[in-house]
Amino acid sequence: MKYLICNLKANKTYEEILEYKNALENKKLEKINFILAPSSIYLSLFKPCSFPLCVQDISLNEKLNLTGDIRIEQLKSLNVNYAIIGHYERRKYYKETEYEILEKIKNTLENDINVIYCIGESFEEMNRRVEYQVLERQIARIFNKLSLEEMKHIIIAYEPTYLIGKDTTYDILKIRSMIIFIKKIIQDYYHINMPVVFGGSVNTDNIENLSKLKEIDGFIICSAILNPENIDKIIEKMTTP
């Protein structure tokens, strides 16, 4: 089954998230691997739910119990199964380096939480035609430091940064080419089949064509799933042959 990773980012007040939770409880999610990533302050509300929970980031200083941080042990007590790491917004606005991303990934995997590792090229890198080198570097600098067993617990989220939050027309063949490249790199160098999901302003209008690409193992979506009514439409288009 394909993945549908719902990244709510910093959206929704307490009253709004309660309404969202009630809407999810009435939905049939068994056709896909549904993963929800709400703001950390709301994770406990979804603990009784049957679908896996995901945290949107992991503390770099796991062992120091620093003010404002959340320990992985605390996340596990809330039934968190996944962590998004390396998201473009964290790289851009928090200046996260690949060293810091690697440390977060290692800490997460050592504590038996699966990783959703975000990679993607910028508009400038695409125009310079170095997008393949960029992706290969983002993969190698992390995976070269991990064991095969650790890599079995990673999902790649390919998100071209110039598509995040943008209303733009997709080049379907280009996306297919990039997904194939990512999978080939991982298979050739690390001898493992790893799920690769796609993100970047995926919505109810474009997901039908994107779902036709058999190379895509699912989607990571934000804006389009903030309205829970869209989730049914998205799942239908993801699962229709």
| Catalytic residue positions, numbered | 87, 159
Which pair of tokens denotes residue 228? 């829970």
CA atoms of 140 and 134, how far apart (whole Å): 10
- CA nearest neighbour of 218 among 11, 34, 60: 34
Calpha distance 88→57 (Å, rounded): 12
Cβ–Cβ under 8 Å, residues 117 and 104: no
**65: DSSP letter:** -
Per DSSP, what are the bridge partners of residue 116?
A: 84, 155
Residue 16 CB contacts under 8 Å (≥ 6 apart), including other chains: none
